[in-house]
Each structure stands twice: as C-alpha cells, then as structure tokens.
Structure 1
C-alpha cells in the first residue's frame, strides 16, 4: 500500500502544481475586489451585468447548436465512410486523426479565405455573425464525433447488416434499427466532448471577428485584457469552469446508468 502511495505521489503533486494551484489562484482572485479585502461583490457585479447574461446565453446556445450539428453531420459522414465503399475511404478515415491535431483558428482562417470579404468565392457577411461562428465550430468539431463513431462501426457485426438486407430491410431501416442503437454510446461520448469544447472555445470566436458575439471565454479576455478587471475576469472564468465540470459530471452519471 505504501509503495502504491509513493508511486502515486509524483503525478498527484504535478497535477496540484500545474492545474489545481493556478485554478485556486483564479478562485482566490475572484473574491478579491480591487479595493482590497475579501468579498463576493465581484460575483454580484458580474451576475448583475447585462454583458454577462448575454455572454452566458450566447455561449450556451452556440454550444448546443454546434453539438447538435456535429452529431447529425458526424453521424452521416461516418456512415458513408464506414459502410459506403468508395476509393480512398481508408485514407479519409486516417485523415480524420490528423485533422484532430489542427488548431481551431486554422479552420476559421480557411473559411475566411474562402467566404470572407476577400475570399475566393466571394463575400458572405454572415461569417462575421453568430451563424459564422456556428459554421466554423461545426466544421472544426465534427471529426471529434466521427472518430468514436468510426471506432464503434468497425466493431459492428456485419452479419446483422447482411441478414437484415437479405430479409428485405432497406438502408434507412437498417440504420435506424441496427446501426443507430450500437452508435449511441459513441454519439454520447463524442457529443459530450464537443459540448465541453464548444463551451470553452475562444480561437474561433476571436478569428471570425464576429461583431456582437461575446461568449464567456471572450468575456474573460475582454475583462482581463481590455478593461483590466481581473476580479471580474476570474469570476467569469470560475463560472465557465463550473459549467464545464457540471456537464462532465452529468455525462458520467448518465453514461454509468446507461451502462448499468
């Protein structure tokens, strides 16, 4: 037992030093008003501001809409790659793994080069609105749904599909009755990951230059860098962390009950 504790001590110490300690500093700063002392007034000021309420609403609806779009598009694309034979299907599947390593702002810049004011196709003003942010998030995060789906589809017993097809079942029915139930755990895993990532996405919103689109991460940046309101920035950051952790905890509970 002691030997196990000794082996566990270094990673726990590193976790505390590089993650828990900075997080504790953020929480501490959130209750330290500029006038000194310790107070919850920064929380009251932030919660009472219209900017925070608008940022919270924008963050939530963008994250939910992007997650829904990624689930639908990712499921359809994964179906095509996994079950529709075409030249280069394996190459496309491997490219998805590489795509996951791309930074989010790179995809946003690519969309701007294509649809921006000086884009290849032409100028599309919606790119600088919340719909442009939504398009960029769905474009970037869809492979995060496809990856677990492709892994789940690779484990699917094709004999079931062949039997259903031989009995006269058409493709939509096979997808609805056989493939979709098997894909639900992968969809839940990919969707929960995308939801948390969208809630904390900063680069896409920043690089689209969307006017009037302020999410919680953007509000943290605005308060800390532009307004020098560090207690207010820490309050928003704490709220963002609590939402993300709460959603992750909810996902763990739901997945555990579903597994049972």
Structure 2
C-alpha cells in the first residue's frame, strides 16, 4: 500500500467517543524575520547635523533681527529703520542690477562659447570642454586675483603701458568700478552656463542640422530655429543658477577693492564687522536670505522642467 493510500486510510478512521481531538498543525517553520531599522532612525543624524549647522544659526539671525522691547515681547523697529536708510536701498539696487547684468552677460557669452566648442571643430576642443568642468571648482577670489594681476593698478597691462610710454601711471583702473565687478562676475560665472549648454548640445540630433543645411539654411538661421529652441531649457537652468550665485557673491566685490560698490552681502559685512550694528546686519541678512530662497525655488522649478 502506498503512503498516500495509508494517509487516506488513517484520515478516514473515525475518532472514538472520548478520544482527545488531534492537535492543530502548527505553523511551518521558516527563516527568522529580519529586524529592519525604521527609516526615521536613519534620517535623524543628517537632520540633526542640518539643524545644528544651518537651521540654528538661521534662527539666531532672525531672532537677532527682532530685538526685545521693554515689555518682554519683540519689536520690528530695526526693519523700518534699515528699509528707510539710503545705504540699504542703494545696496539692494546695486545687488539686483549686478546680478541681472552678470546673468545676461553670462548667458550671451556662454551661449557663444558653447556653440564654438560644440559645433566648430578645432584642435584641443575636447580639452577646452574638460577645462570648463575644472574651472567650476575654482574659488571666485582666484579669478579676481588673476584679473588684478592683469588689469590692476600695478598689473601687467599698466606696467606695459608705463614701460612703453614712460607715463607715471597706467590707464587701466576699471576693476575698482562697478564695471570691473561686472566683468569679474561674468568671467567667473560663464562656465556655469556653458556646462548645461554643452550637455544639451551633446544630445542634439546632428541630422537636424544636416537637413537644415541641405535645405539652404545659413548658420544664423540654423542657430535661431534649430539650436536655440533645444538650448532654451539649459539656458534657463544655467541663468537661474548664475542669478542666485551673483546675488550672494561676496569674494569678488571684496577682492576687486571696489569701495563704491556695496551689495547686500557687503552691507552685512560692513554692519556687523565695521559698525558692530548686529540687528541691522541681521535685517539685511534676512532680506538677502528671503530673496535667495525665492530665486532658488525658481531655479529648482526651471531645472526640473529642463530635466537637470
């Protein structure tokens, strides 16, 4: 008799009255369940570091900008005082026009340079494209120092001028003017526009360019009708990033020595370090942070649409 038949026969035997009921079959033993750490536990360390390194100082800045009054509450007196000052209004205006001007200059120059690198074959073009990535890691004051060595009061250009003409002083003194700050920012931030543009151009179907050229379209028309529409998302993402960074730039303005150029970061430095007016410095910092966060939200939205 087979085992199946034996099991069937055994199951078919009726249970006598008074016999205990058979025990129910227990759960089949299996591998022990692994104890996973909740996700909130892994999130606690980075949140704690973020809170200590960023959120806590930010709270202190906001708290310092609202000084306690005699009644134990808070007073917003520093805000109208700062907003009414001509120095703050001039700094805000200078910051905005420098950031916008630098962004426009970076967009135009970056688009032209990216076109040349991507579509004009020349020896060393690939090395230049790699250098753009390296350039992004340079600190801003390094580029400013390089410009000072060339166009500064005792730079090479003025030295060459005095050697040739015998004059006591050279003609190049524009680095200490708003135009010099604008030039330095465009020089430093242009690669931040070129990088997304070069990535966008590498994804462009060259067949479209060949078809447009075979139909008689000139270079300007190809750029306007074929290349530029494909580059608009990258231009918007790079331009938004440059605008945010120019708004908060401090090193370039400081190292150029432009005493007549006061931006919001320079005003924070002046109020806190030179004048020891910490409530006013915190008010300016809060305004700068609010503008920066707004522009950063805009940048993230543009980058998300551009697929960056």
1:96-148 per-position Cα deviation (integer Å, ceiling 9, x unaligned): 11111111111111111111111111241221110000000000000000011
Alignment of 1:1-260 (within 5 A): 3-32=38-67, 38-122=74-158, 123=170, 124-253=172-301
Gaps spanning 5+ residues in structure 2: where? Answer: 1-35, 159-169
Greater shift after overlay, 19-28 or 63-72?
19-28
Higher helix share: 1
Distance 2:214 2:64 in 1: 66
TM-score under structure 2 length normalisation: 0.80
Native 8 Å contact 2:91 2:262 kept in 1: yes
Native 8 Å contact 2:268 2:281 kept in 1: yes
Native 8 Å contact 1:33 1:42 kept in 2: no
Distance 1:33 1:176 in 2: 58
Native 8 Å contact 1:223 1:230 kept in 2: yes
Distance 2:220 2:295 in 1: 32
1:127-174 per-position Cα deviation (integer Å, ceiling 9, x unaligned): 111000000000000000001111111111111111111111111111
Report the Cα offset of residue 45 of structure 1: 1.2
Gaps spanning 5+ residues in structure 1: where? Answer: none
How large is the Cα RMSD of the aligned pairs? Answer: 2.0
Distance 2:109 2:53 in 1: 37
Distance change in 2, residues 1:130/1:164 (3 Å): same
Distance change in 2, residues 1:140/1:159 (3 Å): same
Q: Secondary structure at the match of 1:169?
A: coil
